[in-house]
């Protein structure tokens, strides 16, 4: 599984955890089914889970005219993953994290999701 696919699976897991309030292990099992667990995917899921309060504080600080609870679960989950990558994973360039987040937003969100994600993440790296 490449990193792009791992991010997509991590998004699905984190999204499921956000809307159903399930534990990471349960969300991973139901999302992956027959797929093998990837180290990068695990680091994203565990990292977002363990640092959720810090990540949410960073996001809240950079949201204009929005609250974290008002953001749709799709965008909130994508922002959490990208913020984790930007702030906690030094081996990934910021532009890669942002581009991957925009791709996820364009695939799973609505027509405005990509622009919204780009705007928030650009403020975080500024």
Check pLDDT > 70 for residue 55.
yes
Percent of the chain at pLDDT exceeding 70: 98
Q: Are 47 and 17 in contact (CB under 8 A)?
A: no
Q: Are 83 and 58 in contact (CB under 8 A)?
A: yes
Domain ranges in the chain are 3-125
Task: List CB contacts of 68: < 8 A, sequence separation 6 or more.
Answer: 56, 59, 60, 76
Structure tokens at 55: 């990540």
The CA–CA distances, whole Å, from 62 to 55, 56, 88, 105, 120 equal: 11, 10, 17, 18, 6
**DSSP string over 82-120:** HHHHHHH-TTS-HHHHHHHHHHHHHHHS-TTHHHHHHHH
How high is the pLDDT of residue 34? 66
Check pLDDT > 90 for residue 57.
yes
CATH architecture assigned to 3-125: Orthogonal Bundle (1.10)
**Per-residue pLDDT tens over the stretch 2-19:** 899 999 999 999 999 988
**Per-residue pLDDT tens over the stretch 76-106:** 999 999 999 999 999 999 999 999 999 999 9
Model-level pTM?
0.93
């Amino acid at each position: 599984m490449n990193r792009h696919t791992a991010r997509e699976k991590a998004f699905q897991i984190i999204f499921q955890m956000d809307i159903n309030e399930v534990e990471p292990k349960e969300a991973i099992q139901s999302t992956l089914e027959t797929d093998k667990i990837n180290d990068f995917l695990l680091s994203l899921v565990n990292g977002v889970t363990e640092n959720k309060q810090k990540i949410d504080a960073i996001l809240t600080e950079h949201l204009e005219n929005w609250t974290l609870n008002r953001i749709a679960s799709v965008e909130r989950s994508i922002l959490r993953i990208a913020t984790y990558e930007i702030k906690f994973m030094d081996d990934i360039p910021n532009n890669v994290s942002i581009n991957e987040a925009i791709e996820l937003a364009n695939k799973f969100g609505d027509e405005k999701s990509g622009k919204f994600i780009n705007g928030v993440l650009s403020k975080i790296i500024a």
